[in-house]
Amino acid sequence: MSYDLLIKNAYVIDPAQNWDGPAEVGVSAGKVAAFGPRLDPTGCPDVRDARGMYLSPGLIDLHGHWYEGGLYGINAEFGLNHGVTTAVDAGTAGFANFPEFRRTAMDHSRANLLGFVHISCLGLHAPFAEELLNLAYAKPVETAAVIERHRDRAVGVKVRIGAMTGDHGGAALDMALEAAEMARVPLMVHISKGANEREILDRLRPGDILTHCFHGRSNGIFTDSEEGMIPQLKLARERGVWFDIGHGCGSFSWESAQKAFEHHFYPDTISTDLHRYCVGDPFCLTLPVVMSKFLCLGMSLPEVILKTTLAPARALSRDKQIGHLRPGAQADMLLFEVRNGEFQFLDTHLRHRKGTQLIEPRLVIRNGIPYEPGAFPVELRELYECDKFVFDFVKSSA
Ligand SMILES: [Zn+2]
Centre of ligand 1 from the C-alpha of residue 248, in Å: 7
Centre of ligand 1 from the C-alpha of residue 250, in Å: 10
Give yes or no for a contact between 212 and 221, defined as CB atoms under 8 angstroms apart: no
Centre of ligand 1 from the C-alpha of residue 226, in Å: 31
Task: Round to the nearest angstrom and report the end-to-end CA distance of the chain.
Answer: 58
Half-sphere exposure for 10 (CA within 13 Å, toward CB): 30
Centre of ligand 1 from the C-alpha of residue 64, in Å: 6
Can you list the alpha helix ranges (DSSP code H) found in 249-286?
Answer: 254-262
Centre of ligand 1 from the C-alpha of residue 118, in Å: 11
Q: For residue 1, which amino acid is it?
A: M
Centre of ligand 1 from the C-alpha of residue 65, in Å: 6
Structure pTM?
0.97
Centre of ligand 1 from the C-alpha of residue 265, in Å: 22
Q: What is the pLDDT of residue 394?
A: 85
| d(C-alpha 192, C-alpha 212), whole Å | 7
| d(C-alpha 363, C-alpha 376), whole Å | 13
Centre of ligand 1 from the C-alpha of residue 365, in Å: 26
**Taken in order 205, 209, 214, 218, is the CA torsion positive or negative?**
negative
Per-residue pLDDT of the chain (398 residues; tens, 9 = 90+): 789 999 999 999 999 999 999 999 999 999 999 999 999 999 999 999 999 999 999 999 999 999 999 999 999 999 999 999 999 999 999 999 999 999 999 999 999 999 999 999 999 999 999 999 999 999 999 999 999 999 999 999 999 999 999 899 999 999 999 999 999 999 999 999 999 999 999 999 999 999 999 998 887 888 888 888 999 999 999 999 999 999 999 999 999 999 999 999 999 999 999 999 999 989 999 999 999 999 999 999 999 999 999 999 999 999 999 999 999 999 999 999 999 999 999 999 999 999 999 999 999 999 999 999 999 999 999 999 999 989 988 888 77
Centre of ligand 1 from the C-alpha of residue 234, in Å: 24
How does strand 19-28 pair with strand 84-94?
unpaired
H or E segment and range at residue 292: helix 287-296
Q: What is the pLDDT of residue 294?
A: 98
Centre of ligand 1 from the C-alpha of residue 398, in Å: 20
Centre of ligand 1 from the C-alpha of residue 63, in Å: 6
Helices (H) and strands (E) in the chain, counts: 11, 15
The residues with which 244 forms a beta bridge, in sequence order, are 211, 269
Q: What is the pLDDT of residue 224?
A: 84
Radius of gyration of the chain (CA): 20
Centre of ligand 1 from the C-alpha of residue 246, in Å: 6
Q: For residue 289, which amino acid is it?
A: V
The residues with which 357 forms a beta bridge, in sequence order, are 340
Centre of ligand 1 from the C-alpha of residue 62, in Å: 10
Q: What is the pLDDT of residue 313?
A: 98
| d(C-alpha 352, C-alpha 253), whole Å | 10
